Amino acid sequence: MRPLRHGYTNDTRGDGSVVVKRYEGPDQMVRHRTEQAMLTHLRRHLPVPRLVRATDAALHMEHVAGVHGQELIDAGHATRVLRSCGEMLRRIQSVAVTPPFPEGPVSLQGSGFLEVDGTVPADAVLVHGDFGPNNMLFDPDTFDVTAVLDWEWAHAGDIVEDLAWCEWIVRTHHAPEVAALDDLFAAYGHRPSWTERQDAMLVKCRAMLALVERGDQAGVGVRRWQQRIAVTLSWTE
């Protein structure tokens, strides 16, 4: 099996029929169990890879045809990709948040979006946790989503989280296409305030910094996320 493109956090390999994902870094078993539970539950609701086999070492998933969203944006299709992202996010947020999680009604990630008694508030939604064209495959002709990938960060959380992170991905990796974010919000049906979106981006960036601080002995990842936080703080709408 060969390493797959766009796999940045874990060891992900495929042979054209099966994709094998081995989790690396801090909390690897937590992320492993979370994604396994999500793929099992979401198969009935959303376009996600079919789980073929699960072991303690890896998840084996059926290969899904489609073109990676970031490749399509780089090819000049940002408007259509982001429109599909907005539509898909609405679908994700319509799925019940309680059943998927392997150790109770909230994510093992600990979103902080809990009542005092540990229950999920009524206004919580299912949060992918790393939502954007970076984790989606598309039909290159229709731009329909063929798969939403990488559910290891899933949790119950605030409605703005995934929307803001999708925007962060575009601003960080596809800066010339920022104007196409209008299509993301239009398809989603709501544009939260800039303050809400930027605050959500910063919460996620700081969570990623805390994560890499636990496992990055060389400090390369720490410096990268510190720089990303500074850049995110500098943005204006």
Comparing 6-10, 116-120, 125-129, 212-216, which segment has the lowest mean pLDDT? Answer: 116-120
Give pLDDT, residue 14.
87
Percentage of the chain with pLDDT > 70? 89
| Mean predicted confidence (pLDDT) in 172-184 | 98
- Between 134 and 211, name the one with better pLDDT: 134
Q: Can you give the chain as a three-state secondary structure string?
A: CEECCCCCCCEEEECCCEEEEECCCCCHHHHHHHHHHHHHHHCCCCCCCCEEEECCCCEEEECCCCEEHHHHHHCCCHHHHHHHHHHHHHHHHCCCCCCCCCCCCCCCCCCCCCCCCCCCCCCCEEECCCCCHHHEEECCCCCCEEEECCCCCCEEECCCHHHHHHHHHHHHHCHHHHHHHHHHHHHHCCCCCHHHHHHHHHHHHHHHHHHHHCCCCCCHHHHHHHHHHHHHHHCCC
- Between 139 and 122, name the one with better pLDDT: 139
Give pLDDT, residue 80.
98
pLDDT band at 178 (very low <50, low <70, confident <90, very high): very high
Edge-to-edge strand list for the sheet holding 145-148: 67-68, 136-138, 145-148
pLDDT surpassing 80 at residue 199: yes
pTM (2 d.p.): 0.90
**Burial class of residue 69, CB neighbours in 10 A (0-12, 13-18, 19+):** buried
| Mean predicted confidence (pLDDT) in 148-165 | 94
What mean pLDDT value characterizes the chain?
Answer: 89
Give pLDDT, residue 163.
98
Give the end-to-end CA distance of the chain in Å, rounded to a whole number: 43
| Mean predicted confidence (pLDDT) in 169-197 | 98
pLDDT digits (tens, 9 = 90+) for 79-118: 999 999 999 999 999 998 765 554 443 333 444 444 445 5
Give pLDDT, residue 217.
64
Give pLDDT, residue 220.
86
CA distance readout (Å), 103 to 61, 62, 82, 139: 22, 25, 33, 35
